[in-house]
Amino acid sequence: MESIKSDASKKSTAKKTVKKTAAKTAAKSSVKSGADLIIVESPTKAKKISKFFKGKYTVIASNGHVRDLPKSNIGIDPENGFAPKYITVRGRGELLDKIRKSAKTAKHVYLATDPDREGEAISWHLAAILGLDDASKCRIEFNEITETAVKAAIKNPRAINMSLVDAQQARRVLDRLVGYKISPILWHKVKWGLSAGRVQSVATRMICDREDEIAAFVPEEYWTVTALLDSLNSKKPIQAKYYGKNNKKQDIKTQQEADEIVSIARSGKFNITDIKTTRKSKHAPAPFTTSIMQQEASRKLGFTSEVTMKVAQDLYEGASFDAGLITYMRTDSVRVSTEAQTAALELIRSKYGENYAPQKPNFYKGKSNAQDAHEAIRPTNLKNTPQLIKDKLTAQQYKLYKLIYERFVASQMSDAQIDSTTVVYDVDSLTFRTAGQRTVFDGFLAVYNDNADETRDVALPALEVGEVLTPTEVKGEQHFTQPPARYNDATLVKAMDDLGIGRPSTYAPTISTIIARNYIKREKRILYPTELGMIVTDIMKANFSDIVSYEFTADMEEKLDHVAEGEIAWNKLVGEFYEPFEKTLKVAEASIEKVKLEDEVSDVPCDKCGEMMVYKMGRFGKFLACPNYPECKNTKPIVVKIDTPCPKCGAALIKRTTKGKGKTFFGCEKYPECDFTSWDMPLIEKCSVCGAYMVQKVFGRSRFKLCSNKDCASHKKRNESKGETEKNAD
C-alpha cells in the first residue's frame, strides 16, 4: 500500500493544479465571441444554462464574490460615510480578465447571480468591474435553474436593485466593524486568535444561556397515578390516568397524595360517566422555508445545518441532471407559484383521488418579517419523483429531495380528519380519563407526517356511559420536572428564527463558525458550550451587552429589511450603530481585566525542556503543546492507540490525522521504520476466505466489516454492494 504521506502529497499537487485551472474552466464555459453574455455564480450553474441555449449565449461563472473587503485591515472609512474599500478577491484576477474580454464583444451582458441580497451585491460588483450602468436592464433573476425559468428571466431584465445591494453592504460593514473592533480586545484580554461576530456572538450566547438555565434548574417532584382496567370488549387492559377530583384538574405533588389515590382506586369501581368524541381537522404543513427545511432535515435525517444547505445547493444546481431539481434554497417565503400549485393538484387527483385535493387551493401566510421575493422550496418538476431519480442521486441528495418533494405535495393536499375520544371515569369522586384517537381521513398524512406522535392512532374498545370497569392494577409513579433541553441544530435554528436573529442564508454558517472557533462543540448532535465559549460570552454580556442582546440583534435585522425596502439609508443605519459602539469600545478596553485560561495538563513530558505538556485546541482538534511557549515551541499529536496490532510488524497502531484537511487514518507507531498505513481501521479479526486482516468501513452512521485484500473474493462481493450501502447511509 502506498504511504499516506505520498498519497497526501499527490492529492495536494492535484488540488493546486485544480486551483490554477479553476478560473480557466469557469471562464471557458461556452464562450462564443459576439454572443450575449450571461454571468452566473457557479460553474455547475453555468454548465446547466449553457445547455439550454446550445451556444447562443456565452455563460461564465464568477465563482461567487469577485470583490470584498481586504483581510489585512478593516477596509472601512468611518470619516467618509463608512465607505467600504473593496479589492479584487485573491485568485479572481485571471477570471475577471476573461469576463471583461467576453463583455467587450457581447451585445448584451446579463447578470444572473442568485436571487437574494448577496446575489444582488455580486451583480453590482460585477457591473462596477465591467463598467455597466446600474440603471441599465442588465440584471436577470430566476428562482429555479430550468430552461423555462431562465428564458423567461432573459425576456424581463431589470436594473440592479440598489436597495438590496445597500442592505447587503450594511450587513457586511456592521459585521466587519464588530469583528475587527472587538476581536483585538479579546486577543489582548483572553487569548490570541479569538474573534467576535455580530450574529455568531448572539448564537453562542443562546447556547451558553441555556447551559446556565440547566445548571440553575431545581427539579420539582410530582406523581402520576395510572390504572389498568379490565373490559369484556378488549383483549388488552385499558389505561386510565388520574385527572383530579370531581372532574376538576389536580396535580399530585407528594407520594402521600399518590398513595391515597391509589388506595381508593384499587378498591373502587370505575364508572364511565362520559364519553366525548370530537373531530379535528389537521391542516397540511406549509412548504419548506430554509429554517423549517433545516429543522426537519435535522430531526428526520440527522443532517447538520451545514450538510443540509450543501446538499440543497447540489439539488438546486441539478446534481447530475441537466436542470435544477429544486427552487432556490435560501428563502423565508411560503408562497408558491400558481403553475406549481396547479401541477401539484393534478398529481394529487390522479394519484390519490379527488378527496385528497382541497376544494380551494391551500394558502399559507408567512411571518410578518418574511422576505417574499421568491417562492418556498419545492421541486421544479413533479414528474421527477424521488423513486424515479433515486439512482442518479447520492444517498444524502435522495433523502433531502424526498423530504422536499413530499413536503411540497402534502402542503397542497386536503386536511386530515381525526376523531379524538375522551372517556371519563368516576371512582368515589376521583376522576380518571382515557384518551383515544382514530384517523378518519388521512388527507395529507398519506404523503407526509410532520409529527407522528400527534397523529398516531390509539384504539379504544366499544364502551358505554354507565358501564363499570374493574381495575387489575393501579400504581403511582414518581417524576421530576426536567430542565430545558440543550440545543441541537434543529432547535437552535428554530430559536434563532423565532427570535428574528439572522436570516435564511446565515443559520448554517453561524453554527459552523462558532463550532470552528471552539466556542461550541457538537456531541451526538447536541450543542454544548465550551469553557472558552462561556468566558467569551460572559465578557461580551458584561461589556458589549447590545451586541449580544437578542432584542437588539433582531431589531437590527428589521432595520436591514427597511434598508432593503429603500426606507433607510444604509450608512445612516451604520452611523447610528457606530457612535455608541465606539464609546463602548473605549470603556471596554480600559475596564476588561485580563483573563488567564488554565490549560489542562497532560502526563506527557516535553521532549525538549521536560515540562509537562498541556492540551491545546487547533484547527483539527486537540494537540499537545509545551507550556513554555514561545521559548519552547514543541508540539505533539495526541496519541490514540487502538487494540489491533500492526499487520506488518506487530507493533501498536495509532489513530492519526493528515495535515491539511485533518482526515483520520491509522499508522504504525514505529513509523518511519514501519510504513504501514490504512484509511480504514484495521481489526484483529481475519478474513475467513483469504486470512487477511479485516477493516471497519464507515459510510455516515453505517458500519460494516470488509476484507483488506482487494483481490479477495469476499472483498469484491462486499464492495459491489457498497453503492446500496452508501445510499442507505447518511
The count of domains in the chain is 5
- Give the pLDDT confidence score for residue 621 in this predicted structure: 61
Backbone CA torsion sign across 454, 457, 462, 467: negative
Sign of the torsion angle spanned by Cα atoms 414, 308, 519, 606: positive
| ∠ CA 542-487-598, rounded to 5° | 50
446 is written with which cell numbers?
398519506
Of 435, 462, 480, the residue that ends a domain is: 480
Residue 151 belongs to a domain: yes
Percent of the chain with pLDDT over 70: 90
Residue 726 lies in a domain: no
Instruction: Check whether 552 has a pLDDT greater than 50.
Output: yes
Pair (149, 28) in one structural domain: yes
Identify the residue with better confidence: 604 or 222. Answer: 222
Q: Do 299 and 332 belong together in one domain?
A: yes
Band (12; pLDDT cuts 50, 70, 90): very low
Q: In the predicted model, what is the mean pLDDT of the chain?
A: 88
CATH of the domain at 125: 3.40.50.140
Query: For residue 370, what pLDDT band results from cuts at 50, 70 and 90?
Result: low
pLDDT in tens, 583-600: 999 999 888 888 877 777
CATH code of the domain in which 315 resides: 1.10.290.10
586 plus 625 within the same structural domain: no
What integer is the mean pLDDT of 163-174? 96
Judgement on whether residues 206 and 299 belong to the same structural domain of the protein = no
86 is catalytic: no
Neighbours of 400 (CB within 10 A): 29
Averaged pLDDT for residues 550-572: 95
| 379 and 309 both lie in a single domain | yes
Tell me if 499 is assigned to some domain: yes
Q: Using CA of residue 349, residue 351, residue 355, residue 357, what is the dihedral sign?
A: negative
Domain range for residue 432? 221-283+416-480
User: Does 92 share its domain with 37?
Assistant: yes
Which of the listed residues 591, 625, 656 is the one where a domain comes to its end? 591
**pLDDT tens for each residue of 274-319:** 999 999 999 999 999 999 999 999 999 999 999 999 999 999 999 9
Residues 450 and 551 in one domain: no
Give residue 661's pLDDT band: very low, low, confident or very high (50, 70, 90): low
Does 526 map to a domain?
yes
Residues 497 and 451 in one domain: no
Same domain, 108 and 145: yes
The answer to whether 116 touches 373, Cβ cutoff 8 Å, is yes
User: Residue 394 above 70 pLDDT?
Assistant: yes
Q: Cell digits for 637? A: 499529536
One domain for residues 496 and 564: yes
What is the 3-class SS of 226-293, one letter each residue? EEEEECCCCCCCEEEEEEEECCEECCECCHHHHHHHHHHHHHCCEEEEEEEEEEEEECCCCCECHHHH
Is 195 part of any domain? yes
| Co-location of 229 and 195 in the same domain | no
| Residue 11 domain flag | no
Q: Which of 32, 34, 14, 31 is nearest to 22 (CA)?
A: 14
pLDDT band at 718; cut points 50, 70, 90 = low
Which of 57, 242, 328, 578 is an active site residue?
328
Q: Nearest to residue 223, comparing CAs of 391, 475, 9?
A: 475
- The whole-number pLDDT of residue 725 equals 36
Residue 367 maps to a domain: yes
Residue 392 lies in a domain: yes
The verdict on 347 and 398 lying in the same domain is yes
Average pLDDT over residues 629-654: 87
Whether the per-residue pLDDT at 728 is higher than 70: the answer is no
